[in-house]
Every structure is written in C-alpha cells, then in structure tokens.
C-alpha cells in the first residue's frame, strides 16, 4: 500500500523522534557509566577558576559531595580523580594507564623536549638514575654532602633571625648544585646562584600551569624557562670542558651527559635541575618546623643526636656517613612523618584504554589523578591523621627503608622516584647537622601548607621565623675558662 505524502511525512517525523529518543537514552546510559562530572558555564574553561583558588580543598569537597571517583573539566582537560584504595590500586597497577605519556607532554611544554627525543632517552636515563642513586651507592655522596653542608653552615654566622624556609634554602641550594653538577660549573658563582634562584622560583611557581596551558599565557614563566635553558647550556659546556678521566670523579651530570649522547641535553638537564630542587627544600623545612615547634619531640631528637655525636665536639666538624644516620632512627621517623603530612597534592597518569573503577568507566584521554596528600589522611592506615606523630613509624622497618602501609610519598607500583634514597639522605643529614650545631627557637607557629598548587612537595603558606644560635662547644668553653 502506498502512503500519501502527508502520511509519509508523519511516519518520517515519528521515526526521527524515536531515533532521537533512543539516542538520548543510550547517551544518558553511556554518560551515567562515567564518573560524576564537575564543569562550569564555559565548556572549555570548566571548573578551572574554582580549582585554581584552592585545589586541595576543592578535591576534598568534591570527594565528599560526589564520592571516591569524579571528573573535573578544566581548561580543555578531563581530570579524573581517584581517592580511595581501589582507585589507588588501579592508578599504580592498571595496564590501561600510562605514566610516560603524561610525562612526555609535561617535558615537551616545560623543557622543550620533543616526543622523539623523550622516548629515545627517557628509559635509559631512568635506569642510570636508579643505578647511580641506589641504596648501596649512597657512599658516593655522603662525604661530599657532609663537607659541603659544613662549608655553607659557616656562612650563617654565630646567631641570627631568619625565615626557616630561607634558612634551609640558603644552605641547600649551593650544596645540592655542587654535589650533583660539580664545582667546576658556573653554578658555584654566588651571583649566578642568586639569579638562578630568582628564575627557578618563577619557573617552579607556575610549573603545573606551564605543563598544561599554552606558554604565551605565562610570559614571566616563559622568560624564566628560557633563561634556565640558556643557563644549563652553559653548565653543560663547563661540565664537558672539565670532563674527569676517572669514573669515580664523575658527577651525576656527567653520567647524565654520557647517557644522553647529545640528545636534547639542555632540556633533560633542565628537568634534572628542577627535580633536584623542587621537593628537597620544602621537605627539609617541614621536618625542622615540626620538630622544633613541639618541645617533647625536639628534646627526644636532641637526645638521640647527642647520644651519637656527644654534647660537644671541640672545634672539629662531626663526620656523618650512612652508618651514623642509621643511628638516628627517631630523626628519620620525624622526616617520614613530615613527608606524610606534606606530600604532593596530586600525581598523574594518562588513561590509554577504557578502565573500570567501582561502577564507572573512565574513557581514554582522561588525565587520571590521585592525591598522596589526601591518601595519607586515611585513618585506616594513619590514626589521628592530622597529628604529627613520629612514633607511628616505629611499626615500619625504616632501617631497611620499608615504610608503612598506605604511604606513597615516593610513588608506588613499579614507578618509584629513582632519587628517593639520595633525597632522604640529604634531608636526614642536614636536619641532624642543623640541630647539632644550632639552638633553634621558633618565633612563629608552623604555617599551613599552601593550597595553591598540586604538583611537588607542598610549600608553606606563610612565614616561619626562627632565632638560631650556635651551640657552645666544649673546646671553646674550656678556652674561655683558661682566659
């Protein structure tokens, strides 16, 4: 039977309507399988403005409102956060996510390393770092660190008042640079170090924004990035000009250059510089701040230190190696507890294939994010999670660097930070030396962490002034009595 034109139009209209309804149902069903999504009035911008104001708080508020898995749309990216144990396990172990894909994007934007150069050298660099900074290679660095720390402690004078974060940076910046890059480079020039600090702070401050957004949006950040790239070009030339003939005399920079064989040297050296600086200063600051702000903990730490080195050492500097550091377990507990409380706001992977977490399907292309800061506040693993309790680490085997369950301050799965043992030794040694050499009196309460950033160890939100005074030593006391 042949339909009239009017009837045919009606059937066509009904068919299109039915198809739209079916498509809508399937679309809803598909999107209902995805995590709850937090956007904004402007699709590309999404929730970026809310996220930028206080990202740590925004993540926790979203978790409370939407549950353990949720997606935030921001500046054209889908950021899917996982906040519980199931999500954490998937983050570290799933084969559907890729760490390198995200790191490649970051390095291309922040250090101008193209995709081909990145994949050509990244795995070789990581293996070299794991080898050169393994637990059984710490003897390569301990003596030099000890000498360098004492040299720069002397610049502080006998006593003074200073912000604790600046106090730490004044010592650690040149020491870390000299140890990893060598004294033969231009980085030992104090004027150059001051310029480096200025540009590094700008680069570090906007690092996570530069990693995601076009460079032209951050002119000061871009200027500092290119200043640092030019600097590391000069550092590389200095290192190559003073290339040691013996392997034992090589710095980590020399080993990095050997591994790169000329491939994107400036870019990779900038990443190396950033990684060596960005977390160690805040971690040392928090360790000292938490210790000296609590008299009972300060007293216990000093009793341990003096039991190992004595109450006075004459005019000679104490020598600290890995053996001496192993005799300071309470101090290490304090450092690990500080790292727990001030871990990064987020670490990241890229979802490569659809993956299931809980009842949700997370689509390819999502940036999968997990927050060590909030995971370390799980009362199942850390009772009274907001309290600084070094004694909780007695349950761990810290002598063998086996940490507490639930602690992910150095990563997890198969991708731990390759420099974690060196960072721990740097912090452990400097905290011990500062407490041994100086009496520290806090003038301000311990500040909260800054809530403006997610990447890297969290920095203080405000000042933390201290008075420091060199401890009277036995030899000088005896001389005063004789005179």
Domains in the chain: boundaries: 48-482
> In the predicted model, is pLDDT for residue 312 greater than 60?
no
Q: What is the 3-state secondary structure (H, E, C) of the chain?
A: CCCCHHHHHHHHHHHHHHHHHHHHHHHHHHHHCCCCEECCCCCCCECHHHHHHCHHHHHHHHHHHHCCEEEEEECCEEEEEECCHHHHHHHHHCCCEEHHHHHHHHHHHHHCCCHHHHHHHHHHHHHHHHHHCCHHHCHHHHHHHHHHHHHHHHHHCCEEEEEHHHHHHHHHHHHHHHHHHCCCCHHHCHHHHHHHHHHHHHHHHCHHHHCCCCHHHCHHHHHHHHHHHHHHHHHHHHHHHCCCCCHHHCCHHHHHHHHHCCCCHHHHHHHHHHHHHCCHHHHHHHHHHHHHCCHHHHHHHHHHHHHHHCCCCCCCCCCCCHHHHHCCHHHHHHHHHHHHHCCCCCEEEEECCCEEECCEEECCCCEEEECHHHHCCCCCCCCCCCCCCHHHHHHCEHHHCECCCCCCECEECCEECCCHHHHHHHHHHHHHHHHHHEEEEECCCCCCECCCCCCCCCCECCCCEEEEEECCCHHHHHHHHHC
Query: How far lies 271's CA from each of 194, 212, 266, in Å?
Result: 19, 16, 9
Bridge-based pairing state of the strands 77-82 and 69-74:
antiparallel
More reliable by pLDDT, 472 or 121: 121
* pTM assigned to the model: 0.89
pLDDT (tens digit per residue) in 113-140: 999 999 999 999 999 999 999 999 999 9
Give the class (CATH, top level) of 48-482. Answer: mainly alpha
Mean pLDDT calculated for residue range 28-48: 81
- Separation between Cα atoms, residue 134 and residue 279, nearest integer Å: 19
Q: Tell me whether residue 373 is exposed, middle or buried, using C-beta atoms within 10 angstroms of its C-beta: 0 to 12, 13 to 18, 19 or more.
A: buried
**Least-confidence region, from 177-181, 395-399, 413-417, 477-481:** 477-481
Question: Can you tell me which residue has the tokens 């940076």?
Answer: 169
pLDDT (tens digit per residue) in 335-394: 999 999 999 999 999 999 999 999 999 999 999 999 999 999 999 999 999 999 999 999
Give the closest residue to 344 by CA, choosing from 47, 55, 48, 52. 55
- Separation between Cα atoms, residue 368 and residue 99, nearest integer Å: 10
pLDDT (tens digit per residue) in 182-200: 887 777 777 888 899 999 9
pLDDT (tens digit per residue) in 425-465: 999 999 999 999 999 999 999 999 998 888 888 999 999 99
Say what the pLDDT of residue 187 is.
Answer: 72
- Separation between Cα atoms, residue 409 and residue 375, nearest integer Å: 10
Please tell me whether 269 is known to bind a ligand.
no
Please tell me whether 417 is known to bind a ligand.
yes
**Least-confidence region, from 59-63, 98-102, 105-109, 449-453:** 449-453
> In the predicted model, is pLDDT for residue 17 greater than 70?
no
Percent of the chain scoring above 90 in pLDDT: 75
Average pLDDT, the chain: 88
pLDDT band for position 473 (50/70/90)? low
Say what the pLDDT of residue 43 is.
Answer: 87
Q: Let me know: does 456 contact 344? Beta carbons within 8 Å.
A: yes
| Residue 122 in tokens | 């990244």
Say what the pLDDT of residue 4 is.
Answer: 54
The values of phi and psi at residue 263, to 5°, are: -85, 110
Mean pLDDT calculated for residue range 18-37: 57
> In the predicted model, is pLDDT for residue 478 greater than 60?
no
pLDDT band for position 412 (50/70/90)? confident
């Amino acid at each position: 039977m042949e339909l009239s034109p009017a009837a045919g139009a009606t059937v066509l209209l009904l068919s299109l309507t039915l198809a739209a309804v079916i498509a809508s149902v399937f679309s809803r069903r598909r999107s209902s399988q995805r995590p709850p999504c937090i956007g904004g009035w402007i699709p590309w911008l999404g929730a970026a403005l809310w996220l930028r104001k206080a990202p740590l708080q925004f993540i926790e508020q979203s978790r409370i409102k939407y549950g353990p898995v949720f997606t935030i749309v921001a500046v054209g990216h889908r950021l899917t956060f996982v906040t519980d144990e199931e999500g954490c396990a998937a983050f570290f172990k799933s084969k559907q996510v890729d760490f390198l894909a995200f790191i490649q994007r970051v390095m291309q934007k922040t250090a101008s390393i193209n995709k081909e150069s990145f994949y050509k050298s990244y795995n070789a660099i990581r293996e070299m770092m794991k080898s050169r900074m393994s637990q059984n290679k710490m003897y390569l660095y301990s003596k030099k660190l000890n000498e360098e720390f004492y040299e720069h402690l002397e610049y502080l004078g006998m006593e003074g008042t200073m912000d604790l974060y600046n106090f730490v940076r004044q010592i650690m910046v040149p020491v870390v640079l000299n140890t990893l890059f060598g004294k033969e480079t231009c980085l030992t020039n104090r004027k150059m170090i001051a310029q480096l600090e200025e540009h590094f702070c700008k680069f570090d401050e906007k690092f996570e924004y530069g990693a995601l957004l076009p460079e032209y949006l951050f002119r000061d950040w871009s200027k500092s990035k290119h200043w640092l790239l030019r600097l590391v070009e000069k550092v590389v030339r200095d290192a190559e000009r003073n290339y040691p003939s013996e392997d034992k005399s090589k710095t980590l920079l020399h080993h990095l250059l050997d591994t790169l064989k000329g491939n994107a040297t400036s870019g990779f050296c900038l990443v190396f510089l950033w990684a060596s600086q960005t977390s160690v200063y805040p971690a040392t600051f928090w360790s000292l701040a938490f210790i000296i702000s609590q008299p009972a903990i300060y007293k216990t730490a000093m009793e341990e230190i003096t039991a190992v080195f004595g109450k006075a050492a004459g005019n000679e500097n104490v020598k600290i190696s890995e053996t001496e550091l192993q005799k300071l377990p309470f101090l290490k507990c304090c450092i690990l507890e500080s790292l727990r409380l001030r871990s990064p706001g987020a670490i990241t992977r890229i979802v490569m294939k659809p993956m299931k977490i809980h009842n949700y399907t997370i689509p390819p292309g999502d940036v999968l994010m997990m927050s060590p800061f909030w995971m370390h506040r799980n009362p199942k693993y850390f009772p009274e999670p907001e309290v600084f309790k070094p004694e909780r680490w007695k349950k761990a085997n810290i002598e063998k660097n086996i940490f507490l369950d639930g602690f992910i301050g150095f990563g997890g799965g198969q991708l731990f930070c390759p420099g974690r043992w060196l960072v721990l030794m740097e912090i452990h040694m400097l905290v011990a030396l500062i407490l041994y050499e100086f009496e520290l009196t806090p003038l301000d309460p311990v500040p909260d962490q800054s809530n403006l950033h997610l990447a890297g160890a969290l920095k203080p939100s405000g000042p933390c002034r201290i008075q420091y005074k060199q401890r009277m030593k036995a030899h000088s006391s005896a001389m005063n009595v004789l005179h």
